[in-house]
Amino acid sequence: MSEHKDFLRTIVEEDLKSGKYKEIITRFPPEPNGFPHIGHAKSIAINFGIARDYNGYCNLRMDDTNPTTEDTKYVEALKDAVEWLGFEWKDNVRYTSDYFDKLYEYAIELVKMGKAYVDSLDQETMKEYHGTVTQPGRRSEYAERSVEENLDLLERMKNGEFKDGEHVLRAKIDMSAPNMKMRDPILYRIRHAHHYRAGDKWAIYPLYDFGHCLSDYIEGVTHSICTLEFENNREVYDWVLDTLKLEPPRPYQHEFARLGINYTVMSKRKLLELVNGNYVSGWDDPRLPTIAGYRRRGYTPESILNFCDSIGIAKANSTVDVAQLEFAIRDDLNTKVPRVMTVLDPLKVTIKNYEGSEELEASYYPEDVPKEGSRKIPFSKTIYIEREDFSENPPKGYFRLTPEQPVRLKHAYIITCKEIVKDADGNITEIIAEYNPESKSGSDTSGIKVKSAIQWVDAASAKTVEVRLYDRLYKNEAPEGLEDLNPDSLKIIKNALIEPAVITERPDERFQFERQGYFYADPVDYTDENPVFNKIVGLKDSYAKKEKAPRGERKPQEKKVQIDGEVEPMSEAEQALFNRYTTELKLNNMVADILARDKQLSDFYLEAISLSTVNPNPVGLANIVTNEVARELKDKSKDELKFNPVQIGELSKMVEDGTISNKIAKQVFEEMVKSGENPAQVVEAKGLIQISDPAQISPIIDEIIEKNPDNVEKFKAGNTKLLGFFVGQVLKATGGKANPQVVNKLVAEKLQ
For 33-90, write each residue's pLDDT tens digit. Answer: 999 999 999 999 999 999 999 999 999 999 999 999 999 999 999 999 999 999 999 9
- Position 715 scores a pLDDT of 79
Does the CA dihedral 294-300-302-303 come out positive or negative? negative
Q: Which of 138, 268, 270, 339 is catalytic?
A: 268
pLDDT digits (tens, 9 = 90+) for 198-246: 999 999 999 999 999 999 999 999 999 999 999 999 999 999 999 999 9
CA–CA dist 7, 50 (Å, integer)? 11
Q: Which of 79, 138, 181, 258 is catalytic?
A: 258
- Position 213 scores a pLDDT of 98
- Position 569 scores a pLDDT of 66
Distance, CA of 207 to chain centre: 33
Does an H or E element contain 431, and which? strand 428-435
CA–CA dist 522, 296 (Å, integer)? 7
**Is the distance from CB of 712 to CB of 751 less than 8 angstroms?**
yes
CATH superfamily of 1-261: HUPs (3.40.50.620)
- Position 744 scores a pLDDT of 78
Active-site residue flag, 31:
yes
- Position 133 scores a pLDDT of 86
Fold adopted by 694-751: Arc Repressor Mutant, subunit A (1.10.10)
Q: Which of 5, 13, 31, 149 is catalytic?
A: 31
C-alpha angle with apex 41: 227 to 12, nearest 5 degrees? 55
Architecture of 264-334+463-498+509-544 per CATH?
Answer: Orthogonal Bundle (1.10)
For 737, half-sphere exposure in the C-beta direction (CA atoms, 13 angstrom radius) is 15
Q: Are strands 414-422 and 407-409 parallel, antiparallel or unpaired?
A: antiparallel
CA–CA dist 511, 341 (Å, integer)? 10
C-alpha angle with apex 270: 266 to 276, nearest 5 degrees? 125
Helix, strand or coil for residue 602?
A: helix
Give the residue ranges of the chain where pLDDT is below 70.
1-4, 541-569, 590, 720-721
**Closest of 344, 339, 305, 343 to residue 325, by C-alpha:** 305
Q: Are strands 510-513 and 517-521 parallel, antiparallel or unpaired?
A: antiparallel
**The one-letter amino acid at 311:** I
CA distances for 10 relative to 97, 228, 254, 255, 258, angstroms: 33, 18, 12, 13, 19
**Closest of 248, 250, 246, 243 to residue 113, by C-alpha:** 243
- Position 136 scores a pLDDT of 95
Torsion angle defined by CA atoms of residues 500, 505, 506 and 511, in that order, rounded to the nearest 10 degrees: -50
Active-site residue flag, 632:
no
CA–CA dist 382, 356 (Å, integer)? 10
**Closest of 112, 34, 31 to residue 289, by C-alpha:** 34
- Position 694 scores a pLDDT of 86
Does an H or E element contain 645, and which? helix 645-656
**Closest of 8, 86, 92 to residue 54, by C-alpha:** 8
Active-site residue flag, 255:
no
Fold adopted by 339-390+397-440+453-460: Ribosomal Protein L25; Chain P (2.40.240)
